Every structure is written in structure tokens, then in C-alpha cells.
Structure 1
Amino acid sequence: MAESARPPLHPDARRWCVAAAAVAALPLLLLMPGWLAGTLATVGLVSAWSGARRPWPDWLRLLLTLSLTGLVLAAFGFRFGRDTGCALLLAMLALKLGETRWLRDGRSLVGFALFATFAAFLQDQGPLTLALAVPAVTMALAASSRMAEHEVPGGVTVPVAHRLAGAVAWVALAIPLAVATFWLFPRLPAPLWGVPENALARTGISDRMEPGQWLDLMNDDAPAFRARFFGPPPPVEQMYWRGPVLWDFDGRAWTRAPWAASLPPAPVEAAGPGLAYEITLEPTDKRFLFALDLPTSAPPDAVMGLDLAPYARRAVSSLRRYRLESVSPARFEPQLRHQLWQAATRLPEGYNPRTLALAQRWRSEGADDAEVIRRALAWFRAEFSYSLDAPPLGRHSVDEFLFVTRQGFCEHFSSSFAVLMRAAGIPARVVTGYAGGFRNPIGDYWLIRQSDAHAWTEVWLEGRGWTRIDPTAAVDPERVFLRSGFIGGGLAGLGEGLVPIATFADWLRRGWNEFVLGFDANRQRLLLRPFGIEEASAGQLALAFATGVGLSLALTLWLLLRQSSPRTDPLLAAYARFLARLARAGVAKAPHEPPLTFAERAAARLPADAGEILALSWRFAAWRYAGAVLDNEARAQLARALRNFRPRVRARPLPGADP
């Protein structure tokens, strides 16, 4: 198409399109890595600025496209998937800001903006994303309205406030339909897709632990799960949230034993009454579940193996809510089979000789199991320190930690203590999970964050069975439990004044998770219970959905018919009032009569007002039928003159008319 045949994009309409794209990009920018978001935002600003003055040449656009594509792919490890696609969409949106010369470009930009808003929900469905998406859609509709005003010669330029109000009205009109679709559209018990593409990208506990692996996790303030007790909660120093139990040690890393999950749960003798509670687990894309030490049974759709570590039957790719009961053990598997004893004392050959020699020396000095544990804890307490800046460890990682560096965090302490116990012939294993938590007083629940990740050791003692030993707590108990006194280390560093804000924000997020993201097929079946339907079937839900959609569409149609009335235009409404006053003066306009013909007839009947009638009618006809362009001020002036017109006298009777 030749350039002369393309309708250009009005400068003011272009500004609206750029503003709509900027608002739509904000949710995605907040979900990108900081450096990548800053780069794309800078490219977008430069692109919008240069596009308004002089478009970039084709070779420069191609170079920027290839460069940004390579940058995005490198940022996500050259993995193609949802996150990479969203970042590429944002990069193309930034470059598109420089290509907005024609009306078609403006429409494409608004389409990109709407798709970017949708893409943000693929990554996050939180209340902040929704709060940012609503103005993004509103701005896109307002930009489309602004382009439509210049699409027709002589089109009306609507004031900014009216344009925004119209866009808000359209968004509000869609809310009933959206609500009906969300609450009533029949849901599947599981998503249409399987494991999300970023299954390896989520932070959290895994079934492998080696020195230094948890460093990023210990600095992550993201929520891991929330717990609500049905009764008095235990003291925070007793809140050990059990996760994967690690049996196998290869000299450096601990891993989970697959065979443990296939064996029945070990027997537990409770030391007192159980604690009932509910956990709402954030998506992890893994099968691990967490429970307060020690759970009595697995939650629904989950299993619990020999070591009482609960596992879901499917990966937790969305919010998972489950109820459990836990007890404090008096004895935990007091009888240990020989095969399990061997598995819990096995060490690889050729690793950590100094640790093995120390344990053998303690044994040769006559120390029994309890004395070996006491000596190890006393040594840790006296000569070791807690630090997240521990130096990296080499092949003999336990030897280097125990005899050289002597500083680290929970994964160092639990691993070294377990190896030391095994070297002394004491069955030991590492338990991973979380410790402590923050009590939110607003919702009366406990928030456990990724930074609360913890690892401890379980040793098997004659007559007692598996017994929890936390060497990290022996070194620095405040680092284990008191770090949860604020919501995350980052907020604690900013001061206590921000804690109430963060507390309220997390309570709001919890409510959103429970009532929106947690609304699944099971809860939907109970939706019609207030209407006497205990458990709605798919057919009943479909009928309710059709009813809700029908009512929403009927409301939309009614508003559209109302809006199509000519009186919705202020100038047409003023002309209608002008005609009404002439009719009351004795001159009524026939439906088929053109405005100027009627004006001449009215002027003849009302000679005192003839000049004003002809002038107003001519100006109105020129705007309405001749394509005359009136700016906002001229339109307002004409409408005001039409509304203020009042005939001085009644019309003369026509010749030959009855008196």
C-alpha cells in the first residue's frame, strides 16, 4: 500500500497509544529480572522518543531486534518457554513504540499492549497483577477510542475525562460477565497442561543438599507456605516443618533414598495430644509437602513413607491446601532393622579421613552414643560460628568445615554432624524443611518463608529411636528462630515501621489465595449450597453459568441501546432542546424535514427570531451534514447557544388556518 493511501496516526492519538503500551508493560516489567526490566524499559523510552521525531532506519531496527532477542535468550539460559516468550513479547513491544506513524501501527501497538496484559497473568495471578491489568485495559480502550475519533473526517474530539470515563464504563460492563465466568464456568479437577515449563526455575527445598547450595534460598523472602492452627500453636522453637529426608551421602552431597518412600511409615509413640493445623503451600512444581514434626498421617492425594516425609502424588503446580495432625514423639521407630541401620551408617570410601579419625578416637576413649553426641555439640558450640558468607569447600568438604573454616549455616552443620555420627557408628540422616515462622496477628496464621529453610539431623538411639538433633541451634539458636521475628530479613533491615505494612500485605495476599486462586472444582461444586443444592453437578453449574452470562449480555445490550440514542451526543441533545422550544412556540419540525428547510419555515413564522434561528440551524447543519470540523470550544459554544435559545413570541398563524 502506498504511503499516501495510509491514514496517518494523529499525534495526540499516538500519545494515547504509547501511554497504553507503557501501562500494559508495567506488570511484566515487575516480573522480569531487574537488569533485564531496566534494559527493556530504557529501549522502550528511547524508541518512543525517537519514533515521534524520526523513525529508525530498517537496518537499525533489525539490529536492535536481533540484539534484544539474543539478550532475552541469554537471560533465560536459551530455554524456550513461557518466561522467555513473555520477555520476548515485552522486547517487541518496546521496539514497536518506534513504529507508530500510521493508524494501522497504532492499532497493532494497542493489540500488543492487550496481549502483554494477558501474558502477565501467565506468570503471576496475584492481586497486584490484577490491579495493574485493569488500568492497562482501560488505557487500551481509551487509546482505541482516541484513534476512532480521527478515523472519520470531521470526527468529534471527546474531552479526556469523557474518554476515560467511557473506557472505565466498558471495563465495568465486562465485570459481571467475568465474575459469572470465573465462579460458574465448569472447572476441571486438574489443569489442561502438565508440569509448567519453569519447573526448574522456582526456588525452594529440593531432594539434594550440598555445601553452598542453599545460599540463595536463605536470602529469599518469598513465601513457602502458610499454616493455621486449630488451637494453641506450639512454641516457635518447636516449629520444625518436616520435608524431604536425606539418607544417601556421596562424600559431598546428600540425596533422598527412593526406597524410603515405598516403605510403610515407621511407628511413632506420641508424648502428648496432637496438634491440628492447615497448610497452604505455594506452588513448587515438586512433589514435596511439609508437615510439623511429626505428622501422624499423609494428607489426601499424598503418601508418607518410612521416614514420615509426605509427598504429593502429583507435582504441586498451584496452591495446595491440606490439613494434618502432628504429635511430639516419645519414641520414633524404636526398633531399627539391620538393613536400615546399614543405610543410616553408610559412608563413601576415600572422603573426609580426619572426620573418621576423630570419631574413632572418641569411640576408643570409651564414649558411648550419648557421649559422642554431647562432645560433638559442645565442640560445635565452642568453636564454630554461623555465617552465610562461608567459603566454598572442596573434595573433603566435611573435613574442611570441621577443621579449617568452622563457619557456615544449617546445611554445613547438619551435614557435618551426620557424617561425624555415622563415622562413630551412630545411625544418622539429614532432614530438610523449615524452622520457625512469623505469626501474622491480622489473620492469626503463621507465615513461613523460603529464608526459613533449615536442615537438621536425626540420630537413632537405643530405646528412643530417631531423635532430632539440631547442631545449628546449638551454635546460634537466634539465627534459627529469631530471624522470623520480622517478615523477611530484607524488611527487618528497613526497620520495624514497615512490618505492619508487610503484615497487612501478606494477609491480603493470603485472602486472595484462599478465595480466588484457591477456588477449585471442589469448592465450585459447593457454590450453590445456599440455594439448597448440596453438591452441584456439571449440568447445574452449566445452567447457572448460562443464566449469569445471559443476564450479563442482557445488561450489555440494554446499555448499548441506550448509548445509541442521539441524545447521547451533547450537541444533538442541545439541538433536540432547540426543536422542542420551537414546537412549544407553535412551529414543529416534521420527521422528514431537513434542518435548513425547517429553519426557513420557522423563521417565516417567527420573524422576531428569524436571524438567530437561521444562524443556529446553519451552523448545526454544517457540522452534522457538511463535515465541518469544530473544535471542543466551538462545539461547546454552539451547544450552549442552542440550549439557551428561547422564542420571543409564539408563531403567527398560517394564512387560512382556523383562529
Structure 2
Amino acid sequence: MAESSPPTLSARSRLWAMLTNALCLLCLLLQLPPLLAMGIGIATLLVMMLSWRQRMPALLRVLLALAMLAAVFMLMGRHFGRDTGCALLAAMLAIKPAETHSLRDARSLVGFSLFAPFAAFLLDQGPLSMALGLLGTVAGLLTLAQLADNEADAANKPQLTNLSMRQRLLAIGRLVLIGLPLMLSAFWFFPRFASPLWGVPERALARLGLSDEMSPGGWLDLMSDDSPALRVQFFGAVPAPAQRYWRGPVLWDFDGRSWTRPRWTQALPAAATSPGSVHWDYQIEMEPTERRQLVALDLPDAAPAGSTLGRDHGLYAAQPLTSLTRWRMQSSPPRTFEPELPPSWRRRALALPDGFNPRTHALARQWRAELGDDDDAIVKRALEMITGSFAYTLTTPLPGRHAVDEFLFDQKQGYCEHFSSAFVVLMRAAGIPARVVTGYAGGYRNPFGDYWIVRQQDAHAWAEVWLPQRGWVRVDPTAAVAPERIYDTLDDRADVAAGGLGGIPRMGDVGDWLRRGWNDLVLGFDASRQQRMLTGLGLPRLHGRSLALLFAVLALAALGGMAFWLARGERERDPLLRAWHRMNARYARLGLAREPHEPALAWAERIGKARPAEAKLVALLSQRFSELRYAAEVGDRSALIADLHRHRPRNHGEQS
């Protein structure tokens, strides 16, 4: 006997499968580098078009796969991490439509496509990723329903097909509601861990943000990125713009071109400070950076829980910031900051490489000879020189060997990277201990939610000089040239640009407020929030095994409910069967329910004996049901379903 051929994949089913693939892939592409994402997107469209009517040649598929692999490793680097793995998944999904020619292939394409939203969540857990992931999942379920219809059509089972889009969406909505208890149990009661569950914690592609190094031109990408770096909520007084400096890495070592932070400074005790009379109490919500560096309003009083305070008052988290984190901090502008500088640290704060910037050294020696031991006067002289003849710009040529000389005596224009580096070199050449401090400056208030946003483009570098009796003192040469770059907030500039229409709600502010709400409700649900929720429910403080046991009990209950409702749905998926069961329920209220083992005609005969007036009608309905349901007889299903819905047992008066 010849084997039956597999069902043919219809054009409609193929289109559904490819649209699902594209939608799921979009969720992942948005998290990859733009150039790579654009290349994979174009390749996906080409593959879909070339393979729509006929199979792509095997050689062409192999060459395309090799080209995609080469592009991924060329743009992502050879280091394997989450980014590289996700990019490889996207590349493979772009080629997968070339193999979609049967129902089995289409189901395989949908199944593999659903990996893309989950991979995207490894890189970003924002509301956009969640929305696209949900759309991709819904599209996948709709496609599977379409493929089932395709198969039913091929098997001549029209009673299972031709559902409207509304009916399909309602069916999928019921499936989502059935799984909702399990999802909420996992979110609320699954034990929270401090580190990620996946096995590749490091990203192949570093996020933009502050680093331990400052090199010429290295900040241009950072200063053109308007994505939020942190959000701040103040409890009480808000610092004035001139005090809104967010301290990050402190750079000590200079090799003539780049500044770097010594790693061991974070392991040493914090230098002594004398806080001023002003205190700021605030909470920082930091976006993930994959690094341990925190920022704080200059100058943090102490390290919050889960972090340490380095010798130069840089803050470092105990674990890399792989997800959104919140930190409650207090800061004060110091009266004195390390007023006694040990000789070893003084030597480090004066160190300069030999053979670099001779004109800067000559100018520093000249000032020292003219002004004597007055370090304050030298600092003032340097600021006066910068204020009088320098300009702020992001368009600067790459420096040569004597970068500071070129900036101070030739170009006389640049941005904070140039100003801070040149100022510190000039101070060290004059015998004044100095260092570069990097972080952020400014920020603006979002009126929706009353919090402050500091963006990556607010990245800034300034100088600290050590002066007798005072210790380290902040000096910002960039602010001396372009105070609007530091002290004007984006909020102020937006009001001016709007010509007095600054009260009109900005969509960007609304979007960030919604993102912050998402962060608070979803991404910020950590172990401490989980314990507070359990306490509010009247449960004792649970840890480890107790919490896992609670989750297991709730998960088993949710799975049991899912099994019951799914089984019930399978039994009553047929509209005819649902109508039959509803008629049975009406007779059950009269004590005449059908027994599970009782055939339809036998049940009708029993009803006829108890209620003779209904015997003929119930027998006729039962006969029609049996023929259509079990004997595959041809009949009007819709008419029978309507008759079953209309039939009602008569009351006692009508029986008599």
C-alpha cells in the first residue's frame, strides 16, 4: 500500500510563518549593533523573496550562511558572549525561511523564531522588548492555528477550520489566561538570585558608559548618546546646577596620551573628609553597564549597602551592574577632603611621563617662578588663561605626540576631555597635585513623576587639585569656557527653544516616565521587594528552601488548574459538543443528568420515561447528535446546534 503524501503548505500558511519569523526577529535585531541589524534584516527579506516560489540552491544557502557568520564575528569580535550568541541566532533565523516548504518546515520555523524574543530579553528587559515579544508570541500561536487549519483542510475536516480572526484571538487569549497563574507565581514567588541564571554573564559588546580610561576622541560616541544613564529622586533639598556633579571613576595615571584609573584604589580605605553643612538625600536608579562602577553626587558620605567606597571616594558595587539597580545615598559638599596627603600619593598625583609637552612644562615653570608658593594663584592664572582665549567644540582633530601643547598653544578649543586633561597636566607640571575625575554633570527634571534624568550625553570630566589645609578641590575648566554646557539643564533649553510653550507635555518625558514605572514594577522587583510583599501577605520572612517550597506548591496548583481547563477545552472544543453538554446541564438541575457511561439514545429514553411530554423531541435531538458526532453523517450542524441551545425542559404545569 502506497504511503500518503504529506499535506501541502498553502501560500497563506507560508506567509503567516514568514511574518511570524520577521516579527520575532525584529525584537532581537533592535538590541544588536545597527549596522549588523540592518544587514541581517536585508538578508532576511532577500531569503524570503528568493525562496518563495522555489528552493534556493544549496550552494547559495551555504555561501549566505558563511557570509552571515563572517559579518557577525567581524562586527562583534571573537569574544563569545551574550551579544555574539544572540547575533548568531539572528543570523541563523534570517536563513531559516529558505528551508520552509512543508507544514513540518513551517512549524519548525515558528518554533525556532520564538527563541528570538527570549534571547532579546537577555540584552534588554524594557517595555518595548516585552511588547514586541508578546506580539511575536501571539503571531506564533496564530500561525500554529493557521497551520492546523491547513492540515485539516488537506484531511477534508472542514468542521475544524474557517475560524475568524476574532475567534482565533479569543482562543489564544484563553490560553494566555490559563497560563497567567503560573507566570505570576514564578514572578512573585520564585527565589530571587543576585547573579544571572544564564551561563554567559559577560557581554561581547560593551555598553556605552563611563570607563576606567579616557583617551583622545574616546568620549565622542558617549556624548552623542541621549539614552538615560541614571534617574534620581531627591528626598528634600535639590542641589543647585553648580553642585550637580555626579562622581564616577577618578583617573590618576597619565602616559602622555590616555588617563587611567589604578584598579587597587578601590580596595583602600576612603580618605578622610569633613562634610559641609548641606546634605542631600536621594535615590539613584542606574541603568545596567556590565561594570561595577557607581556614580554619586559629589561627594558621597558613605557607601550604600552592597557597595564599597574607594580611597578617592569612588563607589563600586559588589557585583557587575548587569540589570537595573537602585541605591539610596547621602552626599555633602566637603569642607576638607584629605587635608593631609601622604608622600606616596603626592608623588603619584605629580607624576608625568618624560618627553611629552615641553611648552606646557615651560609655562608651568614660568608661573611658579612668578607666583612663588601660592598654589591658589597658579590655579587662578590657569583659569584666566582658559577663560580669555579658549572655546568649546566637539569638532577637534586627533592630537599628535604633544597633545596638551597642541591644545593649550595651537588649537585652543575642545571639550571636557581636552580641558580636564590639559589642566591637570599643567597643574602637575607646576608642582600642584592634581587628578582627573570623570562622571556626569547636570541632568534635567522630568515633570511627569518629579524625578531627574541624567543621560549618557551628560558625561563630563573635570579636575581636582590638592591645596594646603583644604585638600582636594574641584576645578572645572570646561565650565569656565562654556558654563551653559554644565549649568543649563536640558529642561531650561527646551523651554527657550519652544518659545514659551514649554508647558506642552513632551512625548520623550512621558515615555521615560512610563519606562521608569516599568522599572519600578517589573525590573526593580528584587529579593528585598519580594520579602516586603511576603510580609504584607502575612507570611514570615522566607529564604531559600522555604521560598522554593512555596513556589513549588503554587506552581503545582497552577499546573493542575491548567491541566483541568485544557482537558475541558479539548472535550468541548467542538461547538456541537458544547451545545450538547449545556442541554445536559439543564436536565441535571432536574435530577436527570446523563451518566458518563450512558449513550445519548439511552439517556433520551430515560428522560422520556420521566417526562413523557418531551420524549419525542429529546429522542430526535439525541438521534441527530449521534449521527453527526459519531456516524459522520452529512447534516446541518448549525441547525442542530441552534436547536440544542433553544431546547428547555418544560415546567411541572406544562408536563401535566
1:271 CA drift (Å): 2.5
* 3-state SS, counterpart of residue 260 of structure 2: strand
Aligned residues between the structures: 626
Moved more, 275-284 or 351-360: 275-284
User: Please, what TM-score do these two structures have when normalized by structure 1?
Assistant: 0.85
CA RMSD of aligned residues (A): 3.8
CA gap of 1:355–1:369, structure 2 versus 1, over 3 A, is: same
Amino acid at match of 1:135: L
Q: Which residue number in structure 2 is paired with residue 235 of structure 1? A: 240
State whether structure 2 residue 72 is matched by structure 1 residue 72.
Answer: yes
Corresponding residue SS for 1:425: coil
* 1:402 equivalent among 361, 386, 408: 408
SS in 2 for 1:295: coil
Give the match for residue 226 of structure 1: 231
**1:437-448 counterparts in 2 under 5 A?**
437-448=443-454
CA contact (8 A) 2:25 2:90 kept: yes
Distance (Å, rounded) in 1 between the aligned partners of 2:338 and 2:582:
91
Superposed CA offset, 1:209-230 (max 9, x none): 1221111111112222222222
2:369 corresponds to: 364
1:261 positional shift = 3.0
1:37 corresponds in structure 2 to 37
- Superposed displacement of residue 638, structure 1: 7.6
Q: CA deviation at 1:398?
A: 0.3
Letter in 1 for 2:522: V
Q: Which residue is equivalent to 1:560?
A: 566
* Secondary structure of the corresponding residue to residue 447 of structure 1: strand
User: What is the CA–CA distance in structure 1 between the aligned matches of 2:240 and 2:60, rounded to whole Å?
Assistant: 63
> Is 1:373 aligned to residue 379 of structure 2?
yes
1:164 alignment partner in structure 2? 169
Question: Quick check: 1:195–1:317 contact (8 Å CA) kept in 2?
Answer: no
**In structure 2, what is the Cα distance between the partners aligned to 1:186 and 1:577?**
43
CA contact (8 A) 2:628 2:637 kept: no
1:338 deviation in Å? Answer: 2.3
Q: What's 2:654 paired with? A: none
Q: How does 1:308-327 map to 2 (within 5 A)?
A: 308-327=313-332
* Counterpart in the other structure of 2:55: 55
Contact persistence 1:449–1:488 (CA under 8 A):
no
User: Cα deviation per residue 1:504-526 (whole Å; 9 max; x = unaligned)?
Assistant: 22222222223322222233233
The answer to whether structure 1 residue 98 and structure 2 residue 103 are counterparts is no
Aligned to 2:653: none
In 2, Cα distance between the equivalents of 1:38 and 1:342? 51
Could you tell me the percent identity over the aligned residues?
48
Residue type of the partner of 2:74?
Answer: A
Q: Please report how far the alpha carbon of residue 337 of structure 1 lies from its aligned counterpart in structure 2 after TM superposition.
A: 2.4
Higher mean C-alpha deviation, range 432-441 or range 555-564: 555-564
Taking a change above 3 Å as real, the CA distance of residues 282 and 194 of structure 1, as seen in their structure-2 partners, is: farther
CA deviation profile, 1:411-461 (whole Å, cap 9, x unmatched) = 100000011111111111111111111212222222111111111001111
Give matches, 1:384-533, under 5 Å. 384-482=390-488, 484-485=490-491, 500-533=506-539
Once the two structures are TM-superposed, the CA of residue 571 in structure 1 deviates from its matched residue by: 4.2
In structure 2, how many angstroms separate the alpha carbons of the residues matched to 1:486 and 1:85?
43
Residues 82, 204 of structure 2: 8 Å contact kept: no
Sort the Cα spacing of 1:424 and 1:16 in 2 relative to 1 into closer, same or farther, 3 A. Answer: same
Q: State the TM-score, normalizing by the size of structure 2.
A: 0.86
Q: 1:163 to 1:263 in 2, by over 3 A?
A: closer
- Could you report, residue by residue, the CA deviation over 1:311-341 in whole angstroms, capped at 9, with x for unpaired residues? 2233222223222221111222222222222
Range moving further from structure 2, 161-170 or 480-489: 480-489
Change (3 A) 1:540 1:231: same
Amino acid at match of 2:65: T
Q: Which runs of 4+ in 1 moved over 4 A?
A: 192-195, 486-489, 495-499, 571-581, 590-595, 616-628, 634-646
Q: Does 1:27 align with 2:27?
A: yes
| Matching residue of 2:256 | 251
The answer (yes or no) to whether the contact 2:624–2:640 under 8 Å persists in 1 is no
User: Which of the residues 570, 574, 587 maps onto 1:569?
Assistant: 574
Q: Which residue of 2 aligns with 1:120?
A: 120
Aligned twin of 1:332:
337
- CA distance in 2 between counterparts of 1:97 and 1:123 reads 25
Show the counterpart of 1:46: 46
- Deviation string, structure 1 residues 286-310 (Cα, Å, up to 9, x no partner): 2211111111112223222221112
Q: Does the C-alpha gap of structure 1 residues 366 and 138 become closer, same or farther in structure 2, counting only changes over 3 Å?
A: closer
The CA deviation at 1:49 is 3.4
**What whole-Å deviation, never above 9, does each CA across 1:107-150 have from its counterpart, x for those lacking one?**
10111121112111111111211111112112212221222233
CA contact (8 A) 2:300 2:329 kept: yes
Structure 1 residue runs without a partner (length 5+): 582-587, 599-608, 647-659
Q: How does 1:98-247 map onto structure 2 within 5 Å?
A: 98-152=98-152, 153-155=155-157, 156-157=160-161, 158-192=163-197, 196-198=201-203, 201-247=206-252
Q: 1:15 to 1:199 in 2, by over 3 A?
A: closer
1:345-379 deviation per Cα after TM superposition (whole angstroms, max 9, x unaligned): 12111000010111111222235322221221111
- Give the superposition deviation at 1:192: 4.3
**What runs of 5+ residues in structure 2 fail to find an aligned partner?**
587-593, 606-615, 649-656
Instruction: Flag the 1:549–1:570 CA change in 2: closer, same or farther, 3 A.
Output: same
Distance 2:629 2:414 in 1: 80
- How has the CA–CA distance of structure 1 residues 423 and 536 changed in structure 2, closer, same or farther, with 3 Å as cutoff? same
The Cα shift of 1:4 comes to: 6.5
* Equivalent residue number for residue 279 of structure 1: 284
> Please, which moves more after superposition, 285-294 or 617-626?
617-626
Letter in 2 for 1:154: N
Measured after TM superposition, the shift of residue 591 of structure 1 is 5.9
SS at match of 2:506: helix
- Letter of the 1:396 partner, please give it: H
Cα distance change on mapping 1:13 and 1:575 into 2, 3 Å? farther
Structure 1, residues 70-116: CA drift from partner, whole Å, max 9, x if none? 22222212433322222222222222223222111011011112111
- What does residue 264 of structure 1 align with? 269
In structure 1, what is the equivalent of residue 359 of structure 2? 354
Distance 1:430 1:580, change over 3 A: closer
Q: CA, structure 1 residues 593+526, in 2 after alignment: closer, same or farther (shift >3 Å)?
A: closer
Q: Given the superposition, is the C-alpha separation of residues 357 and 143 from structure 1 closer, same or farther in structure 2, using an over 3 Å criterion?
A: same
3-state SS in 1 of match to 2:293: coil
